[in-house]
Amino acid sequence: MPSTPSPLTALTPLLQEVIAQSLAFKDSEDVFARRATPHALRDLLLEDLPEQPATAQAIWEDISKRLLPYCVNMNSPRFMGFGDTGADPASLVAGIFAVLAQQNLINQSFCSPSGTMAEIAVIRWLRELIGYPTVPACEVTSVWEAGGITTYGGTGSNTTAMMLAREHTVPGTLSDGVRDPERFGLVVPRGVGHYSVKSAAAWTGCGTYLIEVDTDHFRYDLTALAQAVKENAGRLMAVVAYAGDSRTQTIDHLRAVHDTVRTADPTVWLHADACWGLMAALTPRRRHLLDGIEAFDSVTVDPHKVLNVPYATSALLVRDPAVLRMVSSYSDLIMQEDYAFGQVTPQLGTKEWTSLRAWAALRSQGRQGLTRMMDERLDRTEAFATLVDAHPQLMRLHDPDLCAVAFCYLPPGTHPGTATDTQVERLNAVNRAIHRRLMDEGRWHLHQFTLPDDHGHIRRGAVLAPLRFMSINPRITTTHMRDVLDYVTRLGQEASR
């Protein structure tokens, strides 16, 4: 008699259906199939736990009917506000396998024998890309030689960096606790920093003793930076610089920041948030912008932002691999071995094999493919910036370093460069109205946030509410760019009446 397939093997046809429908979803040009208010979705999905069991087929049918139509498709060429497509083919294959393989990277010998080594390989590749040295592979005898950790996002990586900065500033704080919060000041650029750094300082018990330094063209004013470091001598935990800030993706002058800080204070921890800036390492056209990053004590990078891999893979890289011992933990329950990442990954117990997605993307692209991918992004950035510059009712607000272009619609009567308070308020109101329409309709997506006018295009020092385009998605064509700008213009004209 033929053998009865196991329950898991019997899932094969259903999984094929799931994969086919999910790929069709990602291949669609629609940002959303349907739009609904939060309360409508609440009423649709918040329900009592069912009494009766259901089959996997029934669950998938429910997902297809009630969840999938309302999901955002970040791989749509009309979704231009972020770059997190999650559509790298090799990463998708690896991600599916990693879910099924169920490896736990807290431990190597019996929880993740090969997965641990693949994760170390990813960390080493990322270190090489930003210019950190790596020891020969034959000398990697434990996680302590890896030189970094992976986390589930830039916030987690930045939080670990702030833990390292805290321990570097006052050794033993991990065990003794914070006794003088004012000892842990944190220098950040005013108006362009990411929320995770401030939150990380609070989460690690250091409070929010932020020292915000003025910027010039979205980079540190170096004179003001030197003054801030000197004035707060003995009360600083870290200085944070952005290799691609979260608004305009401007890369700071990293070598100058390093030299300025080290001259004023040779010991303060230097951290670079390169969650976006990792892109610059992929191409000779931008690699020079990262000069000096290899001298920083720690660097955060986000492969899921840069490599089109599915959520969520981030990494914290450290110049000196030994510093991770400052925040290590140990238990003979499961981490009693040299290659256990559980020793060096704060806040995580079970550790999903998310790094395999980055491993697959890096392996499949190779250095040549990564360069080609990034150069194509830069070409799209330049094409979009050119279209904005040629439009009489649009204003570009910065010179793009990477893939972001922040711009705004100019209502009639706006005087660029010398706009009055009233004109700035009206400009922001109109651009916010444009963004609300985009969000409500769901046909196009551009991001919005507040941004200091560091270039003085509207009025230097004014806080603006621009729209942001991002060129990472390879499906975006020049036609898409023209169409979204035409649509923004129409919405702006309607909102200005």
What would the two tokens of residue 312 be? 């969520």
Rounded alpha-carbon distances, angstroms, from residue 349 to 120, 257, 340, 399, 454: 18, 36, 11, 43, 43
For position 2, what pLDDT does the model report?
A: 64
Structure tokens at 78: 């009309």
- Flag whether pLDDT at 198 surpasses 90: no
What pLDDT shows up at residue 408?
A: 98
Range 62-84 average pLDDT: 95
pLDDT in tens, 138-172: 999 999 999 999 998 888 999 999 999 999 999 99
pLDDT of residue 375: 98
Tens of pLDDT along 359-368?
999 999 999 9
Name the residue with tokens 């170096």: 222
Q: How confident is the model at residue 1 (pLDDT cuts 50, 70, 90)?
A: low
- Per-residue model confidence as pLDDT tens digits over 435-471: 999 999 999 999 999 999 999 999 999 999 999 999 9
Question: So what's the pLDDT on residue 5?
Answer: 77
pLDDT tops 80 at residue 103: yes
Compute the average pLDDT of residues 229-250: 95
In the predicted model, what is the mean pLDDT of the chain? 94
Domains and CATH numbers, the chain: 104-352 (3.40.640.10), 365-496 (3.90.1150.170)
Mean pLDDT of 237-249: 96
- The pLDDT-based confidence of 202 (bands split at 50, 70, 90) is confident
Q: What percent of the chain has pLDDT over 70?
A: 99
SS3 content of the chain, % helix, strand, coil (to 5): 45, 10, 40
Say how many CA atoms lie within 13 Å of 131 toward its Cβ. 18
The pTM of the full predicted model, rounded to 2 decimals, is 0.95
- How many alpha carbons fall within 13 Å on the CB side of residue 101? 18
Burial (0-12, 13-18, 19+ Cβ within 10 Å), 330:
exposed
Distance CA 495, CA 465 (A): 15
Strand pairing partners for 395?
408
Q: Are 280 and 287 in contact (CB under 8 A)?
A: yes
Cβ atoms of 330 and 94 within 8 Å: the answer is no
Is the pLDDT assigned to residue 3 strictly greater than 80?
Answer: no
What 8-state DSSP symbol labels residue 395? E
The residue among 329 and 427 whose pLDDT is bigger is 427
Residue 389 has pLDDT above 80, yes or no: yes
